[in-house]
Structures are given as structure tokens and as C-alpha cells.
């Protein structure tokens, strides 16, 4: 379709979180074939801007136009042209064929983004023997750092209890269940007659969430982290590259384990600062 304006155009964009303005009166455009950089210090609102463009955050003011058409209010998967469901299912089938079990489907439920799909995910356990795990949105992003003490200010946050009640209202009482392996902080349930199970992971609303944690994480660049939400890491790759033997690696793992915190302490403002969730393998 022909249009005479810019390829992408933001006009008068405003976005605030409670009383905190992340964006105010932002105008920006990019034309076809152009490379545009957005530069600013931490907290300048760069991430918020991209989240507004991609539809993760609805703007409070202004408009986002792509090829002359407003894209405000469209679902993120329509904006980014994702939604390749068949690719996802092929990946899951490949995991099954490789003998990976259990198959875990993690779902971070976000209001006005995918909260209307929670029931479909729960229903899928009637036919599929997988584990659907609903995870509360954690306030990782810079602009939400001040909001954890009042979860109503964490944009998109949906508490576990709300999802659980929605499922029980529509599909019946969830009976407590067990997973095949790895208990950790998830709580598991089953719908009557279902093949699969449903888990809830509630780092924000569950006060004793970390008490049953049995996890450490190995990042893609060879660091082992004793907790998802702390920045402490032990560099196992450096140990190996430095000629360390199995015993040295074992010592590295134990050194990380000894610093495992008793809890994530998010409500005291603790955050991982060096890496985002996708860089950790949450
Ligand atoms: S926040 Fe840390 S301690 Fe708590 S469950 Fe997650 S990894 Fe375990």
C-alpha cells in the first residue's frame, strides 16, 4: 500500500509508570533503508520506547504509525509478524523425539498481552502430557525497579491466584500433583482427567518462594550463577580454559553454591543488574 509519510513515526509519545514518566512528548521517525540509533544513559527510556513500538506497552499519549497506519493497540505478535505456531510445535516435537522429558511450557502471563490465552494453555493439558507453568512477571526492567513493593504498578503483572481462580472457575478444581523431576519453587496441579500438569511459579506473591529452590544456572558464556536474581557468578569457563581439571570445576561449582542466597529479596530492591533474563536462561 502506498503512503507518503515515514516508514515508522512516533508522535507525542508519553508513557508513565505510576508517577514516574519514562517517556514524555517523544517524536521520532525512521525512513525505509535508514539506520537510526537511539542513545541515552540508563533510565533514559530507551527500552520503554521499544516496548511501546512493539506493542508490549500501550502508550499513555501519542501515536505510533507504521507505513502511515497506527499500530497502537495491536498485539505484539501482529506488530513483529511472529505467531509462527507451527515452528514452535515442530520444536516441541523435536524435543520429544530426542527423549527430553518432561516438556515444560513456560508462560509468563501479562495483562492485555496474553492473559486471554491462559485458559487455552491450561486446556492443552487435557491432550498433551506436558507441564504448562504459569510464571509471574518479575520486574527486571529498569523503569519498573521502583514498583515491586506495589505490584499494581508493575505494568502487565497478573498474580498467580488470579490465573488459578480463572482456571478453576472455567475448568474445575485443580488437584495438587507432582512433576516427574525437579521440584523447585513451582507448585503443581492437575485438571481432572488431564494428561499433563499445570504449575505455578510465584516469585512476587509467594512469601516463602525460595525455600525449596534447588537451582543453579549455567550461562551460555560459561558462568555459573547460584541464583537467578543475584549478579554473583563463578567463571567455570575461565577455570577450564586455564587448564583446570574436574576437581577445579567441582570447586568452582561448590564456591557458587556456598553463596546461594536464602531468598531473592526483590522487595528490598535486589535486582540482577548485569544481565537480563534472556542472557541467564531463566
Ligand atoms: S530467586 Fe534465586 S533462590 Fe529464589 S527460587 Fe529463583 S533462583 Fe532460587
Q: End-to-end CA distance of the chain, in Å?
A: 41
Residue 155 in this model has a pLDDT that exceeds 70: no
The last residue of one of the domains, among 210, 230, 256, is 210
Is the minimum distance from the CB of 264 to ligand 1 under 6 angstroms? yes
Query: In the predicted model, what is the mean pLDDT of residues 45-61?
Result: 90
Rounded Cα–Cα distance for residues 224 and 236 (Å):
7
Same domain, 185 and 221: no
Q: What pLDDT score does 126 carry?
A: 96
Q: What pLDDT score does 146 carry?
A: 43
Q: What pLDDT score does 87 carry?
A: 83
Of 40-44, 75-79, 216-220, give the lowest mean pLDDT range: 75-79
In a domain, 89, yes or no: no
Mutate to test the pocket of ligand 1, among 215, 268, 270 (most ligand atoms within 8 A of CB): 215
Is the minimum distance from the CB of 26 to ligand 1 under 6 angstroms? no
Total domains, the chain: 3
Same domain, 31 and 71: yes
In a domain, 91, yes or no: no
Same domain, 14 and 111: no
Same domain, 188 and 120: yes
Same domain, 250 and 159: no
Centroid of ligand 1 to alpha carbon of 262 (angstroms):
8
The last residue of one of the domains, among 151, 186, 210, is 210
Is the minimum distance from the CB of 213 to ligand 1 under 6 angstroms? yes
Q: What pLDDT score does 124 carry?
A: 95
Centroid of ligand 1 to alpha carbon of 264 (angstroms):
6
Is the minimum distance from the CB of 196 to ligand 1 under 6 angstroms? no
Q: What pLDDT score does 248 carry?
A: 97
In a domain, 93, yes or no: no
Same domain, 42 and 72: yes
Q: What pLDDT score does 3 carry?
A: 58
Q: Dihedrals φ, ψ of 246, to 5°?
A: -55, -40
In a domain, 271, yes or no: yes
Same domain, 200 and 219: no
Q: What pLDDT score does 282 carry?
A: 59
Is the minimum distance from the CB of 158 to ligand 1 under 6 angstroms? no
Rounded Cα–Cα distance for residues 12 and 63 (Å):
7
User: Which is more confident, 268 or 242?
Assistant: 242
In a domain, 23, yes or no: yes
Is the minimum distance from the CB of 210 to ligand 1 under 6 angstroms? yes
Same domain, 151 and 187: yes
Same domain, 56 and 133: no
In a domain, 227, yes or no: yes
Mutate to test the pocket of ligand 1, among 210, 260, 261, 282 (most ligand atoms within 8 A of CB): 210
Q: Domain of 18: which CATH number?
A: 3.40.50.300
Mutate to test the pocket of ligand 1, among 148, 182, 209 (most ligand atoms within 8 A of CB): 209
Is the minimum distance from the CB of 280 to ligand 1 under 6 angstroms? no
Of 33-47, 58-72, 90-104, give the lowest mean pLDDT range: 33-47
The last residue of one of the domains, among 210, 227, 242, is 210
In a domain, 14, yes or no: yes
For residue 226, the ligand 1 atom closest to its alpha carbon is 7
Same domain, 219 and 167: no
Residue 115 in this model has a pLDDT that exceeds 90: no
Same domain, 147 and 170: yes
Query: In the predicted model, what is the mean pLDDT of residues 207-215?
Result: 84
Residue 77 in this model has a pLDDT that exceeds 70: yes
Mutate to test the pocket of ligand 1, among 202, 228, 281 (most ligand atoms within 8 A of CB): 228
Domain that holds residue 237: 215-280
Centroid of ligand 1 to alpha carbon of 256 (angstroms):
13
Task: Give the rounded distance of the alpha carbon of 183 from its chain centre.
Answer: 20
Amino acid at each position: 500500500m502506498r503512503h507518503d509519510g515515514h516508514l515508522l513515526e512516533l508522535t507525542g509519545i508519553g508513557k508513565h509508570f505510576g508517577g514516574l514518566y519514562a517517556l514524555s512528548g517523544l517524536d521520532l521517525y525512521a525512513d525505509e533503508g535508514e539506520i537510526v540509533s537511539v542513545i541515552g544513559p540508563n533510565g533514559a527510556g530507551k527500552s520503554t520506547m521499544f516496548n511501546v513500538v512493539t506493542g508490549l506497552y500501550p502508550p499513555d499519549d501519542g501515536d505510533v504509525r507504521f507505513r502511515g497506519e497506527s499500530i497502537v493497540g495491536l498485539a505484539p505478535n501482529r506488530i513483529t509478524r511472529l505467531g509462527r505456531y507451527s515452528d514452535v510445535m515442530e520444536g516441541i516435537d523435536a524435543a520429544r523425539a530426542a527423549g527430553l522429558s518432561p516438556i515444560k511450557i513456560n508462560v509468563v502471563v501479562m495483562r492485555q498481552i496474553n492473559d486471554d490465552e491462559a485458559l487455552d494453555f491450561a486446556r492443552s493439558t487435557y491432550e498433551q502430557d506436558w507441564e504448562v507453568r504459569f510464571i509471574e512477571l518479575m520486574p527486571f526492567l529498569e523503569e519498573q525497579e521502583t514498583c515491586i513493593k506495589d505490584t499494581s504498578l508493575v505494568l502487565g503483572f497478573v498474580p498467580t491466584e488470579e490465573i488459578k481462580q480463572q482456571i478453576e472457575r472455567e475448568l474445575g478444581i485443580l488437584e495438587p500433583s507432582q512433576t516427574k523431576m525437579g521440584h523447585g519453587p513451582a507448585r503443581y496441579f492437575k485438571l481432572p482427567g488431564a494428561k499433563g500438569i499445570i504449575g505455578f511459579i510465584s516469585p512476587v506473591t509467594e512469601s516463602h518462594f525460595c525455600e525449596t529452590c534447588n537451582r543453579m544456572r549455567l550461562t551460555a558464556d560459561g558462568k555459573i550463577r547460584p541464583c537467578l536474581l543475584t549478579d554473583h557468578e563463578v567463571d567455570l569457563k575461565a577455570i577450564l580454559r586455564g587448564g583446570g581439571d574436574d576437581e577445579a570445576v567441582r570447586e568452582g561449582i561448590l564456591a557458587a553454591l556456598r553463596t546461594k542466597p536464602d531468598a531473592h529479596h526483590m522487595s528490598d530492591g535486589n535486582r540482577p543488574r548485569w544481565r537480563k533474563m534472556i542472557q541467564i536462561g531463566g
